[in-house]
Amino acid sequence: DTAVSQTPKYLVTQMGNDKSIKCEQNLGHDTMYWYKQDSKKFLKIMFSYNNKELIINETVPNRFSPKSPDKAHLNLHINSLELGDSAVYFCASSLQYEQYFGPGTRLTVT
Amino acid sequence: DAKTTQPTSMDCAEGRAANLPCNHSTISGNEYVYWYRQIHSQGPQYIIHGLKNNETNEMASLIITEDRKSSTLILPHATLRDTAVYYCIVSSSNAGGTSYGKLTFGQGTILTVHP
């Protein structure tokens, strides 16, 4: 059984488009996260939600809007995609200490 | 969150213990030491964490110095599948705070296990 799943796994799109990445966890965790890993492999936190409430927003452009319809889901919507948004996006969830990461979504903006 | 310093890369022979060091001299009293690893093209994987006592689980052991300024992750019998980037992170896990659960990943140590 997949603990943290993301869809799609790969996403190729053109500049200016709007796209969404979905994340679901079946672990019963209260907190979910989005991370971005760029081409230089640096992994940086973007957002964190606890019980559907935003608790971390790491100066991410307004074009990125997370949505948490319930505790098990944290989706990431990106408006007006730019070349610099190309990266691997990881969703994660946690109950208290350890975070469980999804397999990642590789976004390529052309 | 406190910053960490790790060697850029390390090698280890299969079947031998891999000892990965980490310096975190500015760690504060409420910060835990976490270790994660990332195998190529996969999401990061939690390994172990500790506050001040040494910890052991099925994957690894974590040795934290008495002054908490450094730690060592020990993989007792490294296998080829342990080849990965290993991240040492210090983070406060106080629930309710604005940095709750925030992990700040550095460059990590590339561990290569050789046959």
B57-71 pLDDT per residue, tens = 999 999 999 999 999
- Give residue A95's pLDDT: 82
- Give residue A19's pLDDT: 98
- Give residue A55's pLDDT: 84
Q: What is the pLDDT of residues B30-46, one digit of tens each?
A: 889 999 999 998 999 99
Task: Give the residue, A94 or B2, on which the prediction is more confident.
Answer: A94
Q: Report the Cα A67 to chain-centroid distance in Å.
A: 10
> B107–A97: do the CB atoms touch at under 8 Å?
no
Cβ-nearest to A94 among B41, B101, B104:
B101
CA angle, B12 as apex, B9 and B14 as ends, to 5°?
A: 145
Give how far A91 is from chain B: nearest CA, Å.
9
Give the mutation candidate from A30, A49, A60, A98 for the B interface (greatest B CB count, under 10 A): A98
Which portions of chain B are predicted below pLDDT 70?
Answer: 1-2, 93-100
Give which of A97, A101, A29 is closest to B95, Cα–Cα: A97
3-state secondary structure of B47: strand
> B93–A90: do the CB atoms touch at under 8 Å?
no
- Give residue A52's pLDDT: 82
- Give residue A110's pLDDT: 97
Q: What is the pLDDT of residues A11-42, one digit of tens each?
A: 999 999 999 999 999 999 989 999 999 988 88
Task: Give the residue, A54 or A78, on which the prediction is more confident.
Answer: A78
Task: Give the residue, B37 or A71, on which the prediction is more confident.
Answer: B37
Q: Tell me the residues of A at the B interface, defined by beta carbons under 8 Å apart.
A: 4, 31, 33, 41-45, 48, 50, 55-56, 90, 92, 94, 96-104
Cβ-nearest to B100 among A41, A44, A55:
A55
| Mean pLDDT for all residues in chain A | 93
**Is the predicted pLDDT of residue A1 greater than 80, yes or no?**
no
In the numeric block, the tokens 């790491």 are attached to: A58
- Give residue A58's pLDDT: 84
H or E segment and range at residue A87: strand A87-94
B46, B32 contact by CB (below 8 A) = no
Mean of pLDDT values over A51-61: 84
Cβ-nearest to B101 among A90, A99, A104:
A99
B107 neighbourhood in chain A, CB within 8 Å: 41-42
Residue of B nearest to A34 (CA): B102
